[in-house]
Amino acid sequence: MSDRAVRSLENLEKSASTARVLNLLQISKAHGNTADWGEKPLFKTVGLNTSLIIKHRLRRNESDLFRGRRQVATKVIIPIDGQDLKSGGRYVFVNQIHFERTLMEVFGVPSDHPDVETLRLIDKLPSLDPFLLREQLGRSGVVAAPCYFALSEADLQKMLNFVKAEITPLVQLSLGGAVTGSSSIERMAAKILSNAPGDRMDALGQTLRLDPEQYQEGVFCWRGFLYYKWSLGSMTSNIGSVARDVATIKPVGPMDQAAKEYIARGREVLKGEIVRTCVEVRRTLKIYDEAYAGLTQDGNPVGFRDFLLEAPALFARLGDQLGAIQHIVSFWNFRFGPKASPPGVDELIDIFMDFEVSLRGRDHEP
């Protein structure tokens, strides 16, 4: 690995998991002595279960590693020495050309190992948000310990309350009138959050004339939209706070002219990209809002049916957009929390470069 790649690996190892990074090495250090971690590992292979998994925006020179066109890939980094990240690491992209052969030759994981399917399930997600990661794995029968998913009971309850408020018009529509109690709303909210089949949910699929597979996938992505919509609302103030900090943070140590110019440019670029990405997120969410309003307010199911059919692609787009914002907010708050040491020049440049690549598409590489 290059010097910058090693520094970036060290920065990642010190950080908490985010929407872009699943830090299994840190989780193993924090929970490796607990029964849950030992009995319900995310991966059965020791190397994979102490790796760093990253939703990585591909550079131009990396795109030919895949047969199809994609902008974001799932990168698995296994440190050579978990105690000394300066040693670097070995990595592979999930589903790259010769993926299974590389896993076997470099990491010793055979193609029929259950960890391979777990990696592919993770690759199907647009981001590594703990709520969606847990549900994606759970609906495929992969049950891992709670320590892998940084979800507090308070956040889960806030999410449930948000979903209940969001689906109230749909419950009223399905019951043909006003809702007299909260039990119907809570039951439907629970079904949406669990993606579990049920009479009312199945009936909605039949009304929309969707086959069971289309409907179940659409509802899972609808749930993703609800989660992302809640996430955007819950972190709006944090986005503004981080944007202000980015504009004012000062590194320590000597700084040459090139570094001064890059950091000054980086502040302006990141501010603009954060605003642009938030606008794109709201534009994507508006597609859902309009389709849902058409169903619940105008009695027109066609738009919502189209939304559920398009939901997987829209979900991927929204996850990519919002995942970049979530990553920046989570990483920044973790790295620059109370009593945190100020960054050195090289570290701040690395952070700015990481943020810029996360926010920009392939056509806007820094």
Q: For the segment 321-356, what is each residue's pLDDT rounded down to a tens digit?
A: 888 888 888 888 888 888 888 999 988 998 898 888
Instruction: Indicate the SS3 state at residue 55.
Output: strand
- Give dist(CA 134, CA 54) in Å, integer: 16
Any idea which of 20-24, 46-50, 188-192, 329-333 has the lowest mean pLDDT?
Answer: 188-192
Task: Say which residue the tokens 């009223």 belong to.
Answer: 172
Q: How confident is the model at residue 3 (pLDDT cuts 50, 70, 90)?
A: very low
* CB-based burial, 195-233: b 16+ in 10 Å, e otherwise: beeeeebeebbeebebeeebbbbbbbbbbbbbbbbbbbe
Using alpha carbons, select from 200, 198, 196 the residue that is nearest to residue 170: 200
pLDDT in the model for residue 364: 46
Q: For the segment 203-248, what is each residue's pLDDT rounded down to a tens digit?
A: 667 777 888 888 888 888 888 888 889 888 888 888 989 999 999 9
Q: Over 70: is that where the pLDDT of 198 sits?
A: no
Using alpha carbons, select from 345, 296, 334, 354 the residue that is nearest to residue 15: 334
Task: Say which residue the tokens 């749930």 belong to.
Answer: 223
pLDDT in the model for residue 175: 61
pLDDT in the model for residue 12: 58
**Residues written for the chain:** 366
Q: How many helices (H) and strands (E) does the chain have?
A: 15, 4
Please, which residues bridge with residue 77 across strands? 52, 91
Q: How confident is the model at residue 6 (pLDDT cuts 50, 70, 90)?
A: very low
pLDDT in the model for residue 231: 87
Q: How confident is the model at residue 174 (pLDDT cuts 50, 70, 90)?
A: low
Q: Over 90: is that where the pLDDT of 294 sits?
A: yes
Calculate the alpha carbon distances from 278 to 120, 158, 171 in Å.
Answer: 29, 22, 30
pLDDT in the model for residue 202: 63
The pair phi, psi for residue 34, each rounded to 5°, is -90, 155
Q: For the segment 131-171, what is each residue's pLDDT rounded down to a tens digit?
A: 889 888 988 899 999 999 876 777 778 888 888 888 888 77
pLDDT in the model for residue 40: 95
pLDDT, mean of residues 3-11:
50
Using alpha carbons, select from 158, 170, 289 the residue that is nearest to residue 235: 158
Read off the DSSP letter of residue 252. Answer: B
At 62, the amino acid letter reads E
Any idea which of 8-17, 137-146, 276-285, 301-310 has the lowest mean pLDDT?
Answer: 8-17
Q: Output helix, strand, coil percentages for the chain, rounded to the nearest 5.
A: 65, 5, 25
pLDDT in the model for residue 237: 82
- Give dist(CA 109, CA 22) in Å, integer: 20
Q: Over 70: is that where the pLDDT of 314 sits?
A: yes
pLDDT in the model for residue 72: 87
Q: How confident is the model at residue 10 (pLDDT cuts 50, 70, 90)?
A: low
Query: pTM of the entire structure?
Result: 0.76
The average confidence (pLDDT) of the chain is: 83
Look up residue 8 and give its two tokens: 């970036």
Q: Over 60: is that where the pLDDT of 24 sits?
A: yes
| pLDDT > 70: percent of the chain | 84
Q: For the segment 83-104, what is each residue's pLDDT rounded down to a tens digit?
A: 655 666 788 999 999 999 999 9
pLDDT in the model for residue 169: 84
